[in-house]
Structure 1
Amino acid sequence: MRLDRSQAESLLQRMEGRRVAVLGDVMLDEYLFGEVSRISPEAPVPIVRVLKERAVLGGAANVAANLKALGTEPLLIGTLQKDVAGDRLLGLLTGLGISISGLVLDTSRPTIIKTRVIGQQQQMLRIDREDPGQPEAAVLLGLKDRLERALGSASALIVSDYDKGTVNGPVMEAVRTMCAERNIPWIVDPKPGHKALYRGATLMTPNTKEAAELTARPARSDMEVTVAGRALMDELGLKGLLVTRSERGMALFSPQAEHSAPWMIPTEAREVFDVSGAGDTVIAAFSSAIAAGADWREAAMLANAAAGVVVGKVGTATVTPDEILAHYHEQEAN
Structure 2
Amino acid sequence: MRLDRAQAESLLRRMEGRKVAVLGDVMLDEYLFGEVSRISPEAPVPIVRVVREHAVLGGAANVAANLKALGAEPLLIGTLQKDVAGDRVLGLLGRLGISISGLVLDASRPTIIKTRVIGQQQQMLRIDREEAGPREAAVLLGLKDRLDRALGEASALIVSDYAKGAVNESVMEAVREFCTARNLPWIVDPKPAHKALYRGATLMTPNTKEASELAHAPARTDAEVAEAGRAIMAELGLRGLLVTRSERGMALFAPDGDHAAPWMVPTEAREVFDVSGAGDTVIAAFGAAVAAGADWREAAMLANAAAGVVVAKVGTATATPAEILAHYHEQEAN
Cα deviation digits, residues 156-183 of structure 1 (max 9, x gap)? 0000000000000000000000000000
Q: Does 1:175 align with 2:175?
A: yes
Identity level (%): 85
Within 2, Cα distance between the matches of 1:174 and 1:130? Answer: 25
Q: Deviation at 1:41?
A: 1.3
Q: Could you say which residue in structure 2 is the equivalent of 1:260?
A: 260
Other structure's SS at 1:211 match: helix
Within 2, Cα distance between the matches of 1:94 and 1:134? Answer: 28
Within 2, Cα distance between the matches of 1:308 and 1:125? Answer: 24
Q: Could you say which residue in structure 1 is the equivalent of 2:194?
A: 194
Q: Could you say which residue in structure 1 is the equivalent of 2:288?
A: 288
Map residues 298-317 of structure 1 onto 2, 5 A cutoff.
298-317=298-317
Q: Does 1:27 align with 2:35?
A: no
Q: Which segments of 5 or more consecutive residues in structure 2 lack a partner in the other structure?
A: none
Q: Does 1:321 align with 2:321?
A: yes
Q: Deviation at 1:269?
A: 0.4
Other structure's SS at 1:257 match: coil
Q: Deviation at 1:259?
A: 1.6
Q: Does 1:247 align with 2:238?
A: no
Within 2, Cα distance between the matches of 1:9 and 1:33? Answer: 35
Within 2, Cα distance between the matches of 1:322 and 1:229? Answer: 33
Cα deviation digits, residues 267-287 of structure 1 (max 9, x gap)? 010100100000000000000
Within 2, Cα distance between the matches of 1:258 and 1:284? Answer: 26
Q: Could you say which residue in structure 2 is the equivalent of 1:208?
A: 208
Other structure's SS at 2:57 match: strand
Q: Deviation at 1:37?
A: 1.2
Q: Deviation at 1:261?
A: 1.4
Q: Deviation at 1:258?
A: 2.6
Other structure's SS at 1:280 match: helix
Map residues 1-334 of structure 1 onto 2, 5 A cutoff.
1-334=1-334
Within 2, Cα distance between the matches of 1:150 and 1:260? Answer: 36
Runs of 4+ in 1 over 2 A off after TM superposition: none
1:41 corresponds to which letter in structure 2? P
Other structure's SS at 2:256 match: helix
Within 1, Cα distance between the matches of 2:178 and 2:98? Answer: 23
Q: Deviation at 1:40?
A: 1.2
Cα deviation digits, residues 16-60 of structure 1 (max 9, x gap)? 000000000000000000011111111111111100000000000
Q: Which segments of 5 or more consecutive residues in structure 1 lack a partner in the other structure?
A: none
Other structure's SS at 1:255 match: coil
1:311 corresponds to which letter in structure 2? V
Within 1, Cα distance between the matches of 2:199 and 2:7? Answer: 33
2:46 corresponds to which letter in structure 1? P
Other structure's SS at 1:316 match: coil
Within 2, Cα distance between the matches of 1:189 and 1:143? Answer: 18
Q: How many correspondences in the alignment?
A: 334
Within 1, Cα distance between the matches of 2:45 and 2:127? Answer: 15
TM-score, normalised with respect to structure 1: 1.00
Q: How large is the RMSD of aligned CA atoms in angstroms?
A: 0.5
Within 1, Cα distance between the matches of 2:259 and 2:178? Answer: 26
Within 2, Cα distance between the matches of 1:25 and 1:134? Answer: 13
Q: Deviation at 1:260?
A: 2.2
1:310 corresponds to which letter in structure 2? V
Within 1, Cα distance between the matches of 2:314 and 2:126? Answer: 15
Other structure's SS at 2:55 match: strand
